Structure 1
C-alpha cells in the first residue's frame, strides 16, 4: 500500500512537471514564432545536455538525502586531465576519457567516504571538494585553455547520428538516463537509495550497508560530472579550469523542479530530465525575447526559490 501511494505521488509529480513544461512551451510559442521550430527545439536539447547529465548524478545523491556542491569543479578538473592527456600527451582519446571518468569517480568516492565514514555533513564535505578540484584544475592547467582535440573526440559533442539530424550528445544523454532509470527501478541498489533518503537508521537496522551505498551514490555523481565534462569539452573543443562554475546550482534546481525532495527518499530521474528541459526552455525563451542576461539571472533565481518552496510545502503534507 505504501509503495502504491509513493508511485501515485511520483506519477502526480511528473504530471505536474509535464503540465508546467507544456504551458511554458505554449506561452513562449505564442510570444516568439521561432520557439516552436524544429531547429530551436533541437537547440534547446543540445543546450541542456551538460546540465542534464550532471543533474542525473545529483539526483541520486539527493534521493539519499544528501547534496553535492562539487560537481562543477570536478567537471573542470576532469576536462583539464583529459586535455593534458589527449592534447599535450598525445594519448588515445578512449584512454584519456577512461582516465577522466576514473578521476571523476575517485573524487565522488572521496566525498562519499568523508560523509559516510567520517560523518561530515554533505554540504561541508562537497564544499571542500569543490575547492580542491577547482584548485587542482587551475594548478594543472596553469591558467591555460587547452584546445585542439581530434575530430573523433569532438564528434561526441558536435556530431550527428549517421544519416540523421539527431545530435550524438542528445542520444548519449537519453541512454544515460535510461541506464539510471533501470538502476533505480529494477535493481536492489535503487531501493536502498530511496530507503536511505526516507529513513537512514531504519535502513541500517534492516541490514543494508548504508556507508557503501552512500559511497556508491557519490561515486555516481562524480561519474556523471566526468561524463558531462566529456560532452562539454568535445562540444567547445576546449578545456578551461574555470569551466562548470555554478553548474551545481542548475543541477540541483533541475532535480527539485523535476520533483525530487531535498530531504531525500522521493524523486525520479525522468522528472529530473523534465526539470532540466524546463530550465533550458526558460533560458532559451528569455533569449528569444531579448531579456537581458542580468534579468535572466534574477528570473532563474526566483524560479529556483519557488521550486524549493513548493518542495517544502509538499513535504509538510
Structure 2
C-alpha cells in the first residue's frame, strides 16, 4: 500500500507536466517564428533554399545529441562528455574506413563505442556513486585524450567510402538532408518512450524525487545508467553523421558540443533540476539555437563573440528556471 501511495503521488505531478509542457512549447514556437522573421529582415540570404537546408541540417546535428542530453537532465544529471564521445567515435570510424571495413561493420562499431563510453559514465555514477558532473567531466578529458592518442593528434582522412556511408551525412531523401530524417526518427522514438512507456515515467520520477521513486519500486540505478548509455549512443550517431559528411575523423571534433546540447535542452524547457521537460521542447530548442547561430553568421558576428552569446543564453535560461521554481515553491508553501 505504501509503494502504491507513493506511486500515485509521483504520477499526479507527472500528469500536470503535460499541460505545462504544451504551454511552454507554444511559447517557444512564437519565439522561433519571431526569430525567423528577424533573420529574414536582417538578411535576404536567410530564406535562400540552400541556407534553409543548412539550417535544417544544423537543427538535426544539434538535436540528435540534445535528445540524449534531455534524457540525462530529466534525471537531474548532466553529461559533459558528449563532445569527447563524438571525437572518439569519429576517429574510430575513420580508422575503420581507412582499413576498407564494410559499412555494416563501421556503423555498429561506432555506435558501440558511444554506447560503451556512455555506459562507463553510468557505472561511475550509479555504482561508483560519483556526482554526474565529476564523472562526465573526467570522461570528457579521458575521451579527448583517447581520441588524440588513437589518431596521434592528427585528423584521419579516408580516401573513399561506400555510397551507403556517404549517404548518411551527404544524401537527400524527399528533398531533405538524410540527417534531418534521422533526427525525426530519433525525436519521435524518444517522445514515445518518455510519454508512453514505464521507462519514460521512471525517468521523470527519478528526476522529481529519486527516493520516492525507489520506494515505489523503480530501479533508480538502472534508470540512471540507461540514460547515460542512451546519451553516449546518440553522441556516436552524431559523430557518424559528421564523419560521413566531412570525410575526416577529427580528434578535436565536438569541442564545445556539450555546452550547445545543454543550451538546446534548457532553451527547450527541460529543467536542470530534473523531472520536468520533454522532447518537443528540445526539438524547438534545437531549431531556435540553429536559427540564432545562422543569424549571427549572416550578420557577420565573430565566432568568438558567438560563444559569449551562447554562454549568456545558458545563464539566462537557468536564471529564469530558478526564479520560476522559487515562485512555484512559494505558491505551494
2:14 touches 2:204 (CA, 8 Å); kept in 1?
A: no
Match of 1:32 among 43, 55, 59: 43
Match of 2:25 among 14, 17, 37: 14
Match of 1:65 among 71, 76, 84: 76
Match of 1:253? 263
Q: How does 1:1-317 map to 2 (within 5 A)?
A: 2-87=13-98, 89-148=99-158, 149-150=160-161, 151-161=163-173, 164-316=174-326, 317=328
State the distance in 1 between where 2:96 and 2:324 align.
47
The Cα shift of 1:83 comes to: 1.4
Gapped runs of 5+ residues in structure 2?
A: 1-11, 329-333
State the distance in 2 between where 1:64 and 1:2 align.
15
TM-score (norm 1): 0.96
Corresponding residue pairs, total: 314
The Cα shift of 1:12 comes to: 1.2
State the distance in 1 between where 2:153 and 2:55 align.
31
The Cα shift of 1:25 comes to: 1.1
The Cα shift of 1:222 comes to: 0.5
The Cα shift of 1:155 comes to: 1.1
State the distance in 2 between where 1:115 and 1:147 align.
35
Deviations 1:119-170 (A, max 9, x none): 1100000011111111111111112211224132111111111xx3211111
The Cα shift of 1:293 comes to: 2.2
The Cα shift of 1:296 comes to: 2.0
- Farther off after superposition, 28-37 or 175-184: 28-37
The Cα shift of 1:97 comes to: 1.1
Gapped runs of 5+ residues in structure 1?
A: none
Give the 3-state SS of the residue equivalent to 1:35 in structure 2: helix
The Cα shift of 1:13 comes to: 1.4
State the distance in 2 between where 1:153 and 1:179 align.
23
- Farther off after superposition, 304-313 or 53-62: 304-313
The Cα shift of 1:86 comes to: 1.8
Give the 3-state SS of the residue equivalent to 1:138 in structure 2: helix
The Cα shift of 1:200 comes to: 0.3
2:62 touches 2:290 (CA, 8 Å); kept in 1?
A: no
Change (3 A) 1:3 1:263: closer
Deviations 1:36-65 (A, max 9, x none): 333322210112322211110010000000
State the distance in 2 between where 1:42 and 1:27 align.
18
State the distance in 2 between where 1:276 and 1:166 align.
17
Deviations 1:86-130 (A, max 9, x none): 21x221112111011111111111111111112110000001111
2:86 touches 2:235 (CA, 8 Å); kept in 1?
A: yes
The Cα shift of 1:298 comes to: 2.0
State the distance in 2 between where 1:5 and 1:152 align.
45
The Cα shift of 1:208 comes to: 1.0
TM-score (norm 2): 0.91
State the distance in 1 between where 2:15 and 2:199 align.
19
